[in-house]
Amino acid sequence: MSNATSTAPARDFTLYGETFSSRFLLGTALYSSPQLMRDSITQSRCEIVTLGLRRQNPANRDGDAIWQYIQESGCRLLPNTAGCKSVKEAVTLAEMSREIFNTDWIKLEVVGDDYNLQPDPFGLVEASEILIKKGFKVLPYCTDDLILCKRLLDVGCEVLMPWGAPIGTGQGLLNRYSLRSLRERIKNVPMIIDAGLGAPSQAAEAMEMGFDGILLNTAVAKAHNPPLMAEAFADAIDAGRKAFKAGLMQKRQTASPSTPTVGQPFWHQQ
Amino acid sequence: MIHVSVNNEIKSIAPATRLSDALHDWGYGDSKIAVAINQEFVPRSTYAERALSNNDQIDIVRPVGGG
């Protein structure tokens, strides 16, 4: 295998018919400056960024620089419905997003609980069905519940985004059993681990498990050096993907020497 | 005069004011915005014909960073 083949990222990440070479989706909130956000996007090598809509006083132009940098990045936009607590709110905000960002992609969030921002599974399925009928391409932020994910597929979602842990916690993959079961039972649908990751090693582990991509924000934005952390996550995601494609060895209970035992010096028949 | 709520702030306007005129008066004329009235999305193409009513709850949003 040539060196070029092993290092160049393949353009084999397909979401709703669009292909990408990066499997890293980056959020654009919480950075201490718009410049740090811009530099983090660059270092992350991401091709998709998430963003939102909020009420703002017309005299407040704070968001202008962020919006300008996001546009200049050339990344595909994935607007969210963050903070929506009902189907009605989420559907309306999605429609507002489609007009303002000129995209039918929506990261669908329906919050079911204020403490852990856990997605409301019932509202999520209902909102997904409504939005898909309205022509949206829905990327639902969901839990790792297998049956919820099946229901989301039933109503027409072509991508799933189960959480690793609650948003902004940095806890990593809290429920490996559920995530492994999800990957085992739903093999041919792109699944992106969204939220809760705090360290690149956690992203690499998710990719090694066979997940297709990683979406995060806080772990990069709140690092001491966000652009460097963005690069670290990008490298970890690439490494995890390569490891998955290469196939991990089976774990064993007992040790097994890697150096040949035949020809071992200093050994003599007793 | 009628009263409407704009992003949770009460404003007084003339009866039957058009949404496009109100947005201009409120300083949103050249902004990249999207609008909902009473939690229903209002397409930009209808701003000029949409007459505002007393007690309308108007949400005006703009792009922000998001996760």
Do residues A82 and A109 make contact, with C-beta atoms less than 8 angstroms apart?
yes
As a whole number, mean pLDDT of residues B10-26 equals: 96
The b-or-e profile of A194-206 (16+ CB within 10 A means b, else e) is: bbbbbebebbbbb
Q: In this structure, is the dihedral angle defined by the CA atoms of residues A165, A226, A105 and A86, taken in order, positive or negative?
A: positive
CA distances to A62, A73, A200, A203, A227 from A231, rounded to whole Å, are 26, 16, 9, 12, 6
Q: Above 70 in pLDDT, residue A6? A: no
Q: Above 70 in pLDDT, residue A3? A: no
Do A58 and B61 make contact, defined as CB atoms within 8 angstroms? no
Percentage of chain B beyond pLDDT 90 is: 94
pLDDT number for residue B31:
79
pLDDT, one tens digit per residue, over A196-214 is 999 999 999 999 999 999 9
DSSP per-residue string spanning A19-55: EES--EEEE--S-SSHHHHHHHHHHHT-SEEEEEEEE
Do A96 and B34 make contact, defined as CB atoms within 8 angstroms? yes
Q: What is the pTM of this model?
A: 0.94
**What distance in Å separates residue B16's CA from the closest CA in chain A?**
23
Do A29 and B32 make contact, defined as CB atoms within 8 angstroms? no
Q: Above 60 in pLDDT, residue A153? A: yes
Percentage of chain A beyond pLDDT 70 is: 97
pLDDT number for residue A261:
87
As a whole number, mean pLDDT of residues A50-60 equals: 91
Residue type at A215 in one-letter notation = L
Tell me which H or E stretch contains B41. strand B40-42
Do B67 and A80 make contact, defined as CB atoms within 8 angstroms? yes
Q: Above 70 in pLDDT, residue A1? A: no
Confidence of residue A5 (pLDDT cuts 50, 70, 90): low
- The least confident of A143-147, A243-247, B26-30 is B26-30
As a whole number, mean pLDDT of residues B51-63 equals: 97
* Of residues A28, A57, A99, nearest to B43 (C-beta): A99
Residue of A26, A81, A95 to mutate when probing chain B, most B C-beta within 10 A: A95
**What distance in Å separates residue A256's CA from the closest CA in chain B?**
45
As a whole number, mean pLDDT of residues A164-179 equals: 97
